[in-house]
């Protein structure tokens, strides 16, 4: 495991200086899974939710969250993201919605936190949109799936 870079020699938190790092194309993919009642998922898929197009709002929330990541996560660098994509896939057999995010940047630091923040806030927005009809929804996992670029290279999650 590598040394924690957000702590100085005294153990104090600080923002990492990336000024001397080389710029590279970077990409990160993350996901969140939301489990719900079959009736709730059917309502969303059939477009019968009183609040409107749930997936459209979820997509916008995820994009907005990735753009605001630096403002939400302490010590996170503001990035000029070049792409933010959300793929929202309902699975009727499992009564889940899988939210996959992909963030890209040409820069000096990675976009893992942006992808994870997008997936997290998108899942929370899905919960918020549907909590009146299904308070028992569960955000089962939020995880990094893959990252590319930078000094550490390419990494892919197991499974």
Contact 40, 90 (CB under 8 A): no
Banded model confidence at residue 1, pLDDT cuts 50, 70, 90: very low
Residue 102 lies in a domain: yes
Task: Please check whether residue 125 lies inside any domain of the structure.
Answer: yes
CATH number at residue 44: 3.30.70.640
Q: How far is CA 46 from CA 35, 76, 138, in A?
A: 17, 39, 21
Q: Using one digit for the tens of pLDDT, what is the confidence trace for 74-113?
A: 888 888 999 999 999 999 999 999 999 999 999 878 899 9
Residues in the chain: 159
128 is catalytic: yes
Residue 139's nearest CA partner among 33, 48, 50, 54 is 33
* Active-site residue, from 17, 53, 128, 134: 128
Quick check: is 7 in a domain?
no
- Gap between the Cα atoms of 94 and 87, Å rounded: 17
Q: Is residue 156 part of a domain?
A: no
- CA–CA dist 107, 115 (Å, integer): 15
In a domain, 69, yes or no: yes
Domain that holds residue 44: 37-149
Tokens 């929330």 belong to which residue? 61
| Residue among 88, 71, 128, 82 nearest 105 (CA) | 82
User: Mind listing the pLDDT tens digit for each residue in 13-71?
Assistant: 666 667 677 778 999 999 999 999 999 999 999 999 888 899 999 999 999 999 999 99
Number of domain units in the chain: 1
Neighbours of 58 (CB within 10 A): 26
Residue 62 lies in a domain: yes
pTM comes to 0.90
Give a yes or no: residue 18 inside a domain: no
């Amino acid at each position: 495991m590598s040394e924690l870079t957000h702590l100085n020699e005294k153990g104090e938190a600080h923002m990492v200086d990336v000024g001397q790092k080389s710029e590279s194309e970077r990409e990160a993919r993350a996901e969140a899974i939301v489990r719900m009642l079959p009736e709730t998922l059917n309502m969303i898929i059939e477009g019968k939710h009183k609040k409107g197009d749930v997936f459209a709002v979820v997509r916008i929330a995820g994009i907005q969250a990735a753009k605001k990541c630096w403002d939400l996560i302490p010590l996170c660098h503001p990035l000029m993201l070049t792409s933010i994509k959300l793929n929202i896939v309902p699975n009727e057999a499992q009564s889940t919605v899988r939210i996959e995010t992909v963030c890209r940047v040409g820069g000096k630091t990675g976009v893992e936190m942006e992808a994870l923040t997008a997936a997290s806030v998108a899942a929370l927005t899905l919960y918020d949109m549907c909590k009146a009809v299904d308070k028992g929804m569960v955000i089962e996992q939020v995880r990094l799936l893959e990252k590319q670029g930078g000094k550490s290279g390419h990494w892919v999650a197991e499974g």
